[in-house]
Amino acid sequence: MLGDAAKALAVFDAVMHDAALRAAAGEVPKDRLWLFRDARDRCLETSEAGLQPEEMELEAHAIDPNATAQIAKLEPQQLAIWISAAPDPQRSALALFYLDEFSHEEILAIADLKTPELAKLLGNARQQFQAWLNACIPHDDHIEELPA
Amino acid sequence: MPRLTRRQRMFVNCAPFNDARIDDRAMRAAVFRVRKADEFAHQRAFDRAIAAVAEATPIPDEVTEWLSKGTFVAAPRRTWKQMLRNPVVAAIGIAVLVIAGILVFKLVDRLNQFPGEVKARHLLGVAASAKSVLLDPVKTEAGSLGDYFFMKHRLPHYDVPAEFAELKTLGCRAFDDEEGDRVGQIWIVDKRMQFFLFPAERDAKTGAIKHFAGWRYVDQDRWTGVVREQNGVCFMAAVRGGEKDLAPYIAKAKE
């Protein structure tokens, strides 16, 4: 969400501190996903305070059958930066989706989205990410060779 | 990719790449439809590859200790809406409704039953097949035939109720039915109506008369009768038609 480990840790500490205080006071909300919602809100607040990514029209390419080989060459930090640079709510959708911890209903609840919106955000993001991959990590020759 | 509806395509687009995270029936069905399509396979491989990179993100130990979704999220509760959408629950619900409907129908039917109903139905069959030539021609008011049955056939209380007493008769007779009970039959000019007077049903053990209050409708083969019990004798007015043909006579009496 933030693309910066130090900021993320600060948000995590703040969320846990607040959660501990609430738990001690017996004021834990009934919403079962409240902690994640709180974390997301704090991430958005933090990111709004820092440098903002430049708004620009991203290219979109269809998913390449060999995209996995391109993705395997990525560093986690590169992926984190790409996701954190996405405009919200696409950023929240991507972060929650690729964490592989939530069902789509839970993602909708945390990111305050509807299913069509989530589908559109993820669909667009895949194509934009593929275009970025094609620009940054071109296919190797051996990747392009498809089995006969 | 197989042909999908817009809704199915939407579900496929946001379907978690981990099947264990799909807890929506419609989404599972959409994913099942496209599971063999290359396009979907590429999408899933793409998502899984990204998730693998995301998983490789170094996380400080102090965070890892806490980072377990199970620690922070209670198990989802099943709502009534979700339960009703379950085909098994829906099927059971429909079955229970049908059974309840049948029980209510039977109960209402039982409540409408009255002692002597079987005989009344049988006499509606007699009315349907009766010919006026079988009767003794008697042209008078129906109300005056009570004395006739008493004097000629020794049948006490075979009286026509006031509601039908003023109707003109064509003829009448007394006969024994299959159970050996004496039945009085009167043919009326109005609407080719027929009246039947027969002994009320008795309790098989005690022999006591089974009384019932008010008028009760009975129908059989497009014939409808309205029956009332008084002094141990049942009176039935029968007509070819429905309840609406008899209702005015009874309504007149209530007024």
For chain A, give every domain's residue range. 1-52, 57-141
Do A68 and B27 lie within an 8 Å CB cutoff? no
Size of interface A-B (CB pairs under 8 A): 110
pLDDT in tens, B74-92: 666 677 887 787 888 889 9
To the nearest whole Å, the CA of A56 is away from the closest chain B CA by: 23
Contacts of B58 in chain A (CB under 8 A): 5, 76
Report DSSP letters for chain B, one per residue: -----HHHHHHHHT--SSGGG---HHHHHHHHHHTT-HHHHHHHHHHHHHHHHHHTS---HHHHTT--HHHH-PPPPPPHHHHHHSHHHHHHHHHHHHHHHHHHHHHHHHHH--TTHHHHHHHHHHHHH--GGGSEE--SBGGGHHHHHHHHH--TT-PPPGGGTTSBEEEEEEEE-TTS-EEEEEEESGGG-EEEEEEPPB-TTT--B----S-EEEEETTEEEEEEEETTEEEEEEEES-HHHHHHHHHHHH-
State chain A's mean pLDDT as an integer: 85
| Alpha carbon of residue B18 to chain centroid | 49
Give the mean pLDDT of B236-247.
93
Q: Are A40 and A48 in contact (CB under 8 A)?
A: no
CATH number for the region A57-141 comes to: 1.10.10
Contacts of A32 in chain B (CB under 8 A): 73-74, 76
Residue A148 above 50 pLDDT?
no
Q: Are A74 and A137 in contact (CB under 8 A)?
A: yes
Q: What is the pLDDT of residue B51?
A: 92
Contacts of B74 in chain A (CB under 8 A): 32
Contacts of B10 in chain A (CB under 8 A): 115-116, 119
Give the mean pLDDT of A10-37.
86
pLDDT in tens, B9-64: 999 988 888 888 888 888 898 899 888 888 889 999 999 999 999 888 887 777 77
Do A67 and B42 lie within an 8 Å CB cutoff? yes
pLDDT in tens, B188-232: 998 889 999 999 999 888 989 899 889 999 998 899 999 999 999
Phi, psi of B190 (to 5 degrees): -65, 120
Tokens of residue A113, six digits? 């989205």
Residue B120 above 90 pLDDT?
yes
pLDDT in tens, A69-111: 889 888 988 888 888 888 888 999 999 999 888 888 889 999 9
CA distances from A15 to A38, A84, B88, B90 (A): 7, 19, 42, 42
To the nearest whole Å, the CA of B4 is away from the closest chain A CA by: 14
Is the CB of residue A65 less than 8 Å away from at least one CB of chain B? yes
**pTM of the entire predicted model:** 0.55
Region of B100 (left: φ > 0; alpha: ψ -120 to 50; beta: rest) is alpha
Q: Which of B168 and A56 is assigned the larger pLDDT? A: B168
- Exposure b/e, B214-245, CB count within 10 A at least 16 = b: ebbbbebeebbbbbbbeeebbbbbbbbeeeee
Reported confidence tier of residue B72, pLDDT bands at 50, 70, 90 = low
Q: What is the pLDDT of residue B254?
A: 52
Q: Which of B81 and A54 is assigned the larger pLDDT? A: B81
Whether the predicted interface score ipTM is above 0.90: no
